[in-house]
Chain A
Amino acid sequence: MEKIKILYIDDEQNNLNGFKASFRFDYFVFVAATTSQARAFLEEHSDIRIILCDQRMPDQTGVRFFEEIREKHPNPIRMLITGYTDIEAVIDGINRGHIFRYIKKPWTDTDIKSAIEEGNKFYLTNSLLSVKNDELRSAYDELGKFAYSVSHDMRGPLLGVIAAIEIINKSENINEVKEIAGMMDVAVKQLDAFIINLHEYYSLKRGSLVYEPIDFKTIVGDLAALFKVAGSMENIHFTVNVSQTGDFYSDLISIKIILNNLLSNAFKYQRKGSDNKYVEINIDVTNTVATIFVKDNGIGIHEEYINNIFTMFYRATSEETGSGFGLYNVKDALNKLQGTIEVSSTINEGTIFKVTIPGKTHAAK
């Protein structure tokens, strides 16, 4: 484990030397003879966890120093070192809530050590709490966006179908009924796609990664079969090139989500009426990295919107019924796998996505 960083401030050089000699094996020790020197250390090392300061410094008191640095450096645990005569200052410091502990002078190694251990525990609890707080805040924000979008994306198609049924009930015209049924079909499939994406979203957010050997050829083959069944490959030339040398360990669910979303987009956002539609996937896998290109000659993505395509619920086109979820999930999966994604696109010419995923060499990792 890395040594924790401690800053000790005292104007007597002997004390500084003594402190450093006693603790340099256990901790990463910074010593400062003046408070301005101490400030410089704090600026440079934001990961200093514990500050011990003598109350009687020539330019200012320890209490005053702590008060001043607290706003800029709120995280380090502050401890005051003081003789009996300074008891008023100690009470003052503690009551104002900015000192974790005070240590009597002359100190013993045991005093300091136990104070540092306690302080470190407090520091860790606090930082954990603030990380959890941030997570909670972002989860809340997401929930807000969610509630709003779910009411639209899930209720929207349903309300459409409800209204359509009413029209069908009053209609005597079989052709009209068939036409409406076709539109209901689209609405219901859209809802289904949304729910599938929602499920993917949760398996990514809540699931932990499971590393296993990935055979890209099989995965892409399975996906291609699915697209064939769904009929989305009609008149679209699909080329698959997979070159895999060696074992590649990664999380299967994440890989499937990435490939499925990129491919289904490539099939979906084709130009209607174009007679040479194609989708191409090139995968090159070594045991350290998988590089994936998904290329189509479809409608392309407008320059203005390309930076937003990975944003949740963002849809860059009204051509097709996207859930606004797919690429967000792709990006999220890649973040978990520490992979990258790049996109280049030209309107009416097509889009290329490039994905890289680092492989784990052993399943245990």
Chain B
Amino acid sequence: MLPNNQHHFIVIDDSKLDCFIAEKIIKNTGKCASIKTFVQAKDALEFIATQEPLSPLPVIILVDIQMPVMNGFQFVEAFEQLPYAVISKYIIYVISSSINDEDMNKIHIYPTVKQFLNKPLTSNTLSTLLSKE
């Protein structure tokens, strides 16, 4: 059994550097049970749809908004089409470097998105949000 303050993470960002940074920061919190990174949202979606997540739940997803082919919002829309039994095991945080009113408003229409986070991801913001889980 893992200690109960541990979490599994999925990071989706088309920038390899940003994936790497997220991985580092998440690992440094000491609350990371596992982490998987994806540079393509489609691959992440497939992973989520086919793999049974390990406890403890929920798994935390950090997804970038602006990505080619499937952007963050398209990912969330596709994710919300999955069976409730799957959706309920995840919590989504949307991350981006651009703070655009339209994006900010859009976030509220997706029930599975918990919060918007600014880039760069810092250990402070991450620790704060993990302490609430």
Contact = CB atoms under 8 A, between A and B. Distances in A.
A binds B: yes
A148 B97 contact: no
Residue among B66, B67, B96 having the largest count of chain A Cβ atoms under 10 Å: B66
A152 B69 contact: no
Contact of B68 (A160, A186, A315): A315
Contact-size category for B: 20 to 34
A187 B20 CA distance: 12
B120 A163 contact: yes
Interface string A87-127: 00000000000000000000000000000000000000000
A180 interface: yes
A322 B68 contact: yes
A164 B39 contact: no
Interface in A282-337: 305, 314-318, 321-322, 324
Contacts of B18: 156, 160, 163
A352 to B, nearest CB: 22
Nearest to B65: A152
| Chain A at the B interface: SS class | helix
B36 interface: no
A304 to B, nearest CB: 9
Given A186-B16, A187-B15, A164 B21 contact: yes
Nearest to B100: A148
Interface in B47-92: 66-69
A315 B69 contact: yes
Contact of A159 (B14, B67, B97, B100): B97
A183 B16 contact: yes
Given A167-B21, A316-B68, A152 B16 contact: no
A125 B47 CA distance: 61
A318 B20 contact: no
B15 A152 contact: no
B34 interface: no
A157 interface: yes
A151 B98 contact: yes
B24 interface: yes
B114 to A, nearest CB: 21
A318 B67 contact: yes
A357 interface: no
| Chain B at the A interface: SS class | loop
A317 B14 CA distance: 10
B17 A183 contact: yes
A324 B15 CA distance: 15
A156 B20 contact: no
Nearest to A315: B68
B40 A156 contact: no
Given A160-B120, A163-B120, A318 B16 contact: no
B121 interface: yes
B17 A187 contact: yes
B68 A152 contact: no
Interface string B1-37: 0000000000000111110110011000000000000
B26 to A, nearest CB: 12
A93 to B, nearest CB: 46
A156 B97 contact: yes
B24 A160 contact: no
Residue among A156, A186, A316 having the largest count of chain B Cβ atoms under 10 Å: A156
B119 interface: yes
A155 interface: yes
Given A305-B69, A318-B69, A155 B97 contact: yes
B68 A180 contact: no
A155 B20 contact: no
A162 interface: yes
A184 B97 contact: no
Contact of B17 (A152, A184, A315): A184
B18 to A, nearest CB: 5
A186 B15 CA distance: 10
Given A152-B97, A164-B21, A183-B16, 11 more contacts: A148-B98, A148-B100, A151-B97, A156-B119, A159-B120, A160-B15, A161-B17, A167-B25, A315-B68, A318-B14, A321-B15
7 contacts: A151-B99, A157-B17, A160-B15, A167-B21, A167-B24, A184-B17, A318-B68
Interface of B: 14-18, 20-21, 24-25, 39-40, 66-69, 96-100, 119-122
Going nearest first, the 8 A-B pairs with the smallest beta carbon separation are: A315-B68, A163-B120, A151-B98, A183-B17, A160-B17, A152-B98, A155-B97, A159-B120
